[in-house]
Amino acid sequence: MKPLDPRLLRYSRSSRGFLLLSVIIALSGAALSIAQAYLLTSLITELFQKDRAIEDMGATLRILVAVFIGKAALGYISNFVSSRFSTRIKSELREGLINKVIGGESDALHRLGPAELSLLISRGINNLDGYFSKFIPQLFIASIIPLAVGIAITLQDWKSGIIVICTIPLIPLFGILIGRFTASATQKKMETLGLLSGYFLDLLSGLPTLKVYNRSKLQTKKLGEIGDTYRKETMKVLRVSFLSSLALELVATLSVALLAVSIGIRLVNGSMTLSSGLIVLILAPEVYWPIRQVAAYFHAAEDGVSVSNQIFEILDSESVNGTQIVPDIKAITWSELTVSYPNRSTIVIPAGQLTTGKIHALVGPSGAGKSTLIAILLGFTQISTGEIVVSTSSGDFSFDQIEKNHWRSLLSWMPQDPHFASTSVGEIINHKESVLSDVSLKVSDLPNGLDTHIGALQDAISVGQKRKLALARAFSKPSALLILDEPTASVDDVSEEEINRTLEREAKAGRIILVASHRPTTIASATNTIKIVAR
């Protein structure tokens, strides 16, 4: 785990100032701790060894009070600074993510899925809170205070200094050694916990199914058994992974004990003064606690780091986009294209051509690559090999070089699984009521006619009606290229005829129409067939 990702500085302008302020705060903290140790020691030794009355030490006492107030103020300031900066950094990262994802410049949506991505951007980013406002400042404190305090101890008593210098490196060293030893164990614990949580969610998601199968009553006991098994497994792992914190605490407290005993013996010998001894004793825990505190925040940091890794991966991902603007589309011609997805066999699309005024049927078994070709033409998927040429009234363009946002303004599309913005049917079809009859969708079938609100009430219309509406939306956008993915699936024969008539009319009007379909009549109505075979 990288505790501080350099990409943070790149993506968040605010982070530099934050890191600088964290250093200043840590330095002030060190100064106050050392001052407190000196003042307390001076008061104790004056009282005890020199038998001075407390009334004579008003000045020292006042300075001590000032140090306490300083500590309180620093506590407020450091929290304020870190939480303010955490807010700003989070906000910068959120905006970056929204721009990147909504702008269609990242494949994160496909990799993570909408639910996970939304969770990341809303609540997931809050995992950075602990990371920015606790872990990072503590990281600076842990590297500055032990050093400063160590120097102060060495100045008082070099022998104690040696003990401190010898034991400080033991903490990170033990941490790393045991960390490495327990890393796989921790990983295993996280995995089992994740698995258990996933299992539980899966079980709840499938509850309606279990219920209709009359098997839902058997699971409570099983949940208990599985929970028990996992608990035992996890505890085995935890017994090992807690060893690391045990080692850290042992080093810290044993060192203090070691120092105290050695100081005590040297005091008896007379080779040391009480004030040096007390200063070392008061300061000694200050050497160790910041490092231990880092370990305590480690959990928060781990969440934060994994979230920031996810975020930076998305922000880092480069979209491949061209710059050329095409005025119109006369034809699209491609050589054999391949698209490789991880963990899946490569999809091969044979060479083909789309020309104006024709209906091109895209056929082939499911999974062969029909949707892939459509995604390529929409500019959502990159091809691995092959070439696509777009012919226009001002010459031929290579598809790679075309600016895709402008390209998409030239085409219209009906996806297989349509979604609509939360608005009325009228709004969705650009108030072109005629397109509804083109797709055989009757206004009277919609609960509130053209004012039927989609989105808020996704259930107001049926699946089939939704598909027809998506088709109507595709027709309603003036476009040179019309891409339709299964326009006649889940549609009855009468509607299919109506839709096929519309397709013919639109093709005659000079549009390029590409239709992916399983339906024989739709395929038959096409003038050209593009066949993709599964390999």
Among 71, 159, 188, 432, binds other proteins (CB under 8 A): 71
Residue 61 or 351 with smaller CB distance to other proteins = 61
Strands 512-516, 481-485: pairing is parallel
Q: Does 31 bind other proteins (CB under 8 A)?
A: no
CA 265, 268, 273, 278 torsion: positive or negative? positive
Among 169, 357, 367, 478, binds other proteins (CB under 8 A): 367
Long-range contacts of 393-398 (CB under 8 A, 24+ apart): 393/327, 393/328, 393/330, 394/326, 394/327, 397/324, 397/326, 398/322
The window from 9-17, 150-158, 274-282, 313-321 that contacts other proteins (CB under 8 A) reads 274-282
Binders of other proteins in range 310-349 (CB under 8 A): 343-344
The type of residue at 378 is L
CB of 90 to other proteins, least distance (A): 7
Q: Does 27 bind other proteins (CB under 8 A)?
A: no
Count of residues engaged in binding other proteins, rule: CB under 8 A: 160
Among 1, 20, 61, 524, binds other proteins (CB under 8 A): 61
State the Cα–Cα distance between residues 509 and 497, nearest whole angstrom.
19
Binders of other proteins in range 165-224 (CB under 8 A): 197-221, 223-224
Confirm if 278 and 45 have CB atoms less than 8 A apart: yes
**Closest Cα partner for 227 from 185, 187, 197?**
197
Confirm if 128 and 300 have CB atoms less than 8 A apart: no
Binders of other proteins in range 472-531 (CB under 8 A): 473, 477, 490-495, 518-520
Binders of other proteins in range 129-158 (CB under 8 A): 133-134
Looking at the chain, the number of H-run helices and the number of E-run strands are: 20, 11
Q: Does 295 bind other proteins (CB under 8 A)?
A: no
CB of 102 to other proteins, least distance (A): 4
Q: Does 358 bind other proteins (CB under 8 A)?
A: no
Residue 61 or 166 with smaller CB distance to other proteins = 61
Residue 249 or 387 with smaller CB distance to other proteins = 249
| Three-state SS at 30 | helix
CB of 181 to other proteins, least distance (A): 15
Binders of other proteins in range 36-55 (CB under 8 A): 40, 43-44, 47-49, 53-54
Strands 481-485, 411-414: pairing is parallel
Residue 111 or 335 with smaller CB distance to other proteins = 111
Among 424, 468, 485, 530, binds other proteins (CB under 8 A): 468
The window from 6-14, 173-181, 242-250, 394-402 that contacts other proteins (CB under 8 A) reads 242-250
User: Which residues lie across from 485 on neighbouring strands?
Assistant: 516
Q: Do you know the residue count of the chain? A: 535
Residue 330 or 404 with smaller CB distance to other proteins = 404
State the Cα–Cα distance between residues 101 and 117, nearest whole angstrom.
9
CB of 20 to other proteins, least distance (A): 18
Q: Does 449 bind other proteins (CB under 8 A)?
A: no
The window from 12-20, 177-185, 305-313, 437-445 that contacts other proteins (CB under 8 A) reads 437-445
Q: Does 282 bind other proteins (CB under 8 A)?
A: yes
Residues contacting residue 99 through CB under 8 Å, at least 6 positions apart: 105
Count CB neighbours of 127 within 10 A.
19
Residue 352 or 364 with smaller CB distance to other proteins = 364
268 dihedral zone (left: phi>0; alpha: psi -120 to 50; beta): alpha
Among 19, 35, 77, 147, binds other proteins (CB under 8 A): 77
CB of 4 to other proteins, least distance (A): 21
Q: Does 19 bind other proteins (CB under 8 A)?
A: no
Among 322, 350, 386, 415, binds other proteins (CB under 8 A): 415
Q: Does 59 bind other proteins (CB under 8 A)?
A: no
Count CB neighbours of 182 within 10 A.
19
Residue 367 or 385 with smaller CB distance to other proteins = 367
Residue 114 or 169 with smaller CB distance to other proteins = 114
Provide the b/e sequence for 360-380 (b: ≥16 CB within 10 Å). Answer: bbbbbeeebbbbbbbbbbbbe
CA 363, 368, 371, 377 torsion: positive or negative? negative
Q: Does 64 bind other proteins (CB under 8 A)?
A: yes
Question: Taking the C-alpha atoms of 241, 128, 123 and 183 in order, what is their torsion angle to the nearest 10 degrees?
Answer: -20
Q: Does 277 bind other proteins (CB under 8 A)?
A: yes
Count CB neighbours of 319 within 10 A.
13
Q: Does 439 bind other proteins (CB under 8 A)?
A: no
Encoding tokens for residue 280? 């070392």
